[in-house]
Structure 1
Amino acid sequence: MNPTPVSLPYSATASLFASVRRQSETLCSPLTPEDMMVQSCPEASPAKWHLAHTAWFFETFVLREFLHGYRPLNEDYLWLFNSYYNAISAQPEKKLRACFSRPSLAEVLRYRSHVDSAILELLEMGAPEEAERRIVLGLNHEQQHQELLLTDIKHSFWMNPLKPVYKLEGPAITGRGAPVREFLVYESGVYATGHSGEGFAFDNELPRHRVWLDSFAIASQPVTCAEYLEFMQDGGYEQPELWLAEGWTAVQEEKWRAPLYWFQEDGEWQLFTLRGTFSVSDLGNSPVCHLSGYEAEAFARWAGKRLPTEAEWETAAATQPTHGNLLESGALHPVANAGTFFGNTWEWTASAYLGYPGYRALPGALGEYNGKFMSNQTVLRGGSCVTPASHIRPTYRNFFPSRTRWQFSGLRLCLTQE
């Protein structure tokens, strides 16, 4: 969370709140109520649940504590839409969220409206500093769920035999015209990493600290679909020496032979996207995505390179403009573009997700937001084509188990300099 107080004028805070909340509902506009009930894998959640849980966050951590006389719409929502905050209440098992046919979608939208009105009332009255900090945290939390909502919708549509299209209109998804990759060299030395203290950050981006990095070179462009196809054609999924032990086990158990959402039709590789199905050959220069961390590591080894550490990635990204193919572009899929470290795909690193030296979780139940997941997770950096643009920065740390593939995740190569 922000290490310094957030203090925006009422109108600015209210406008930001309304904009982020509206965006979540806009993302659901192409969906039917039936679409919004589907949970196609244990990691995912129904779209209706995302809408309810993000309202729950504001109600639980802001309204119940800071708005005198606030009356919840339904007391059962305190536990029903709790995700994993054990200090708040017990909660239903995550994989069962698709069973929540009630409350109805109309009731969930009424719940959101109820919460929104109360938050705006609190802001108009003059929210305490801590309440305003939590509202800003809640907006960043909701942006995370906007991204998850789209990744979950994509997986649910992929599992549907009809392969529905989420959205037809939008800019062209292109895999042509990518610039030549070069390696950016950084000399050995001490570098600062972590959030600097200006603007919002999650607690896991703190504290800022110094690290020693040996000289390294990092690619200006992520790995493309065409390059990954070469790995596949060279028998990458049949060579155990390329894989970490757990990765090789996953390959055998899951029968991985290509990235998630790739399939063969008449001998040609096709790629399912939120915008429809495309030929992999037509998207050859676009970044490959929906790889597990194990696949990313195996490809890097096959290519004679390695994955960057998160400190190496951040050091390089800190000198790059924070723009790219993000949610607002409307592409909803990686595209070939000029060298940027942001957007297109989250990029796997070689770093375990752990607290920085001196890390302290937030006090109380909010401390469960990030800190308790610092075990058996790998860090990803950079944002994706479904990450809101205002949500990303060089210090942002995403994290998932290395077996995860349903996220928009790819890789960038790195090597140690002699």
Structure 2
Amino acid sequence: MTPALAPLTPNEAIALFTRTRARSDALAAPLSPEDTMLQSMEDASPVKWHLAHTTWFFEEFILKPRVPDYRSPDDRFAFLFNSYYTQAGPRHARDKRGLVSRPGGQAVRDYRAHVEDSLATLLMQRREDGDEIAGLVELGCHHEMQHQELLVTDLLHGLSFNPLLPVYKEPEPLEVTAGTELRFDSHEGGLVEIGHDGAGFAYDCEGPRHKTFLSPYEIANRPVTNRDWIGFIEDGGYGDARHWLMEGLAVAQREDWQHPLYWWQQDGTWWTFTLRGPQPVALEAPVVHVSYYEADAFARWAGARLPTEAEHELAFRDRPIAGNLMGDGDDIGMLRPMPGAGVWGDVWEWTASDFAPYPGFRPPEGALGEYNGKFMVNQRVLRGGSCATPREQMRATYRTFFYPHQRWQMMGLRLARDVA
């Protein structure tokens, strides 16, 4: 975590904590106990586990080290709900989380309430380490926001296997909107600075701010749409090896990719499974649930390329953080990409950049140093946030990262081109 220049006050930390926890509760509210147990693959986790793990984070990194008389409701929770923090102790197998039927849903809700009450009490004490505690609460809240995004995308993947095609959020008709004409905006490049400047919250991997050189480039004014993608499909793009990286083509053939995840064709119309159940593909909305390999192949087919993360940040860092993002409280947002020409929200946009440390990066000491640093290999950076990213988490320097074959997140793309 990069420390904020102006640490949160206890009241500010409590307010952020309260908002964040309430959003998780709102996301889980429509679900049955059976829904919260779904784990459809190793990459995904059950809703119940997300609710418990984010609670364990506050307990493990704030309460246990700083409150001598703190007692967990169950010491076994530390084993069940640790994720990948090896320095925090042993943990349950990731691919077996869906088999943990107990503790039940009420026990997890009681655990959340216990930790919330204990943390609120701690924050109201006058302590010499109050600023450090407030900073850790802020980190814990942003950690929970990441899991809120995972919660809904993991849930979508799990529900997609149900032949009843269940609905999480009530269907709403999309307004009929005209498509946004594709345009490329020019940028001179040169020696630029990117990365977090130290003002406000950021994850450790967003810094240090540093200089990098960019050649002149153009970047699209909107993400690639479903209409664009159907053109790629109809032109045989999935079967044309000229557009594909060798590894990507091998994965596409092995997995029999013929279209984005959750799509199917019925009576000549493309349909997709969403959190609102089955829906016709919205032609002018950004394409979503495509891998890096597919995004790269599409860009080559379109005579373009994917932008680097530095190009993306330079082009859009002065744009206000507004768009189709996850909201607060009961108004959690659309939770699906919408037609338009937004920069923030809708879909995370694949970049051509490896998830690698910036020059001078040093992870924090201790288990929290495992948060990002140990994942800096074989993954690609995405920028821009999605319809499942909480609004107050977004900033222009935010880097998320996934493996190039993964598709279950809200992943799309925006094109870029070199300038001769």
TM bin, normalised by shorter chain, reads over 0.9
* Contact 2:5-2:200 at 8 Å conserved across structures: no
Q: What one-letter code is carried by the residue in structure 2 that aligns with 1:2?
A: T
C-alpha distance in structure 2 between counterparts of 1:319 and 1:333, whole Å: 25
Q: What stretches of structure 1 of length at least 5 have no aligned partner? A: none
Look up the match of 1:332: 335
**SS of 1:125 mapped into structure 2:** coil
* Contact 1:335-1:344 at 8 Å conserved across structures: yes
* Contact 1:173-1:333 at 8 Å conserved across structures: no
How far is 1:11 from its partner?
Answer: 2.2
How far is 1:331 from its partner?
Answer: 1.3
Look up the match of 1:25: 25
Look up the match of 1:347: 349
C-alpha distance in structure 2 between counterparts of 1:57 and 1:404, whole Å: 26
User: Which shifted more, 58-67 or 178-187?
Assistant: 178-187
Q: What one-letter code is carried by the residue in structure 1 that aligns with 2:36?
A: M
**SS of 2:22 mapped into structure 1:** helix
Look up the match of 1:223: 224
* Contact 2:344-2:384 at 8 Å conserved across structures: yes
Look up the match of 1:36: 36
TM-score normalised to structure 1 length: 0.97
How far is 1:22 from its partner?
Answer: 1.1
1:88-107 equivalences in 2 (<5 Å): 88-107=88-107
1:189-228 equivalences in 2 (<5 Å): 189-228=190-229
Look up the match of 1:9: 9
C-alpha distance in structure 2 between counterparts of 1:21 and 1:142, whole Å: 8
Deviations along 1:353-390, whole A, 9 cap, x unmatched?
A: 00000001111100000000001100000000011000
* Contact 1:193-1:314 at 8 Å conserved across structures: yes
User: Which shifted more, 17-26 or 51-60?
Assistant: 17-26
TM-score normalised to structure 2 length: 0.96
Deviations along 1:301-360, whole A, 9 cap, x unmatched?
A: 0000000000001101112221111112621110112x3211000000000000000001
Deviations along 1:64-103, whole A, 9 cap, x unmatched?
A: 1112311111111111100000011111111110000011
C-alpha distance in structure 2 between counterparts of 1:5 and 1:11, whole Å: 17
Look up the match of 2:178: 177
Deviations along 1:120-152, whole A, 9 cap, x unmatched?
A: 000011352222111100000000000000001
**SS of 1:143 mapped into structure 2:** helix
1:124-143 equivalences in 2 (<5 Å): 124-126=124-126, 128=129, 129-143=131-145
Deviations along 1:172-212, whole A, 9 cap, x unmatched?
A: 43573232221111113111100011000000001000110
Look up the match of 1:257: 258
Taking a change above 3 Å as real, the CA distance of residues 408 and 279 of structure 1, as seen in their structure-2 partners, is same
Tell me how large the CA RMSD over aligned residues is. Answer: 1.3
1:395-406 equivalences in 2 (<5 Å): 395-406=397-408
Q: What one-letter code is carried by the residue in structure 1 that aligns with 2:358?
A: Y
How far is 1:413 from its partner?
Answer: 0.2
* Contact 1:173-1:331 at 8 Å conserved across structures: no
Q: What stretches of structure 2 of length at least 5 have no aligned partner? A: none
* Contact 2:5-2:198 at 8 Å conserved across structures: no
C-alpha distance in structure 1 between counterparts of 2:309 and 2:229, whole Å: 22
**SS of 2:87 mapped into structure 1:** coil
* Contact 1:6-1:132 at 8 Å conserved across structures: no
C-alpha distance in structure 2 between counterparts of 1:265 and 1:153, whole Å: 24
* Contact 2:192-2:214 at 8 Å conserved across structures: yes
Look up the match of 2:287: 288
Q: What one-letter code is carried by the residue in structure 2 that aligns with 1:159?
A: F
How far is 1:46 from its partner?
Answer: 0.1
How far is 1:169 from its partner?
Answer: 5.7
* Contact 2:9-2:134 at 8 Å conserved across structures: no
Identity of aligned residues (%): 47
* Contact 1:296-1:411 at 8 Å conserved across structures: yes
* Contact 2:5-2:199 at 8 Å conserved across structures: no
C-alpha distance in structure 2 between counterparts of 1:58 and 1:177, whole Å: 46
Aligned partner of 2:162 among 156, 160, 163? 160
* Contact 2:159-2:166 at 8 Å conserved across structures: yes
C-alpha distance in structure 1 between counterparts of 2:99 and 2:5, whole Å: 40
* Contact 1:176-1:286 at 8 Å conserved across structures: no
C-alpha distance in structure 2 between counterparts of 1:174 and 1:201, whole Å: 36
Look up the match of 1:302: 301
Q: What one-letter code is carried by the residue in structure 1 that aligns with 2:317?
A: A
Look up the match of 1:75: 75
* Contact 2:10-2:134 at 8 Å conserved across structures: no
Look up the match of 2:396: 394
* Contact 1:314-1:395 at 8 Å conserved across structures: yes
C-alpha distance in structure 2 between counterparts of 1:6 and 1:372, whole Å: 28
How far is 1:231 from its partner?
Answer: 0.1
Look up the match of 2:380: 378
How far is 1:19 from its partner?
Answer: 1.1
Taking a change above 3 Å as real, the CA distance of residues 13 and 64 of structure 1, as seen in their structure-2 partners, is same
**SS of 2:124 mapped into structure 1:** helix
Deviations along 1:153-173, whole A, 9 cap, x unmatched?
A: 111111111110101066x43
How many residues are paired up?
414
* Contact 1:175-1:285 at 8 Å conserved across structures: no
Taking a change above 3 Å as real, the CA distance of residues 95 and 175 of structure 1, as seen in their structure-2 partners, is farther
User: Which shifted more, 10-19 or 148-157?
Assistant: 10-19
Deviations along 1:234-259, whole A, 9 cap, x unmatched?
A: 00111112111111011111000000
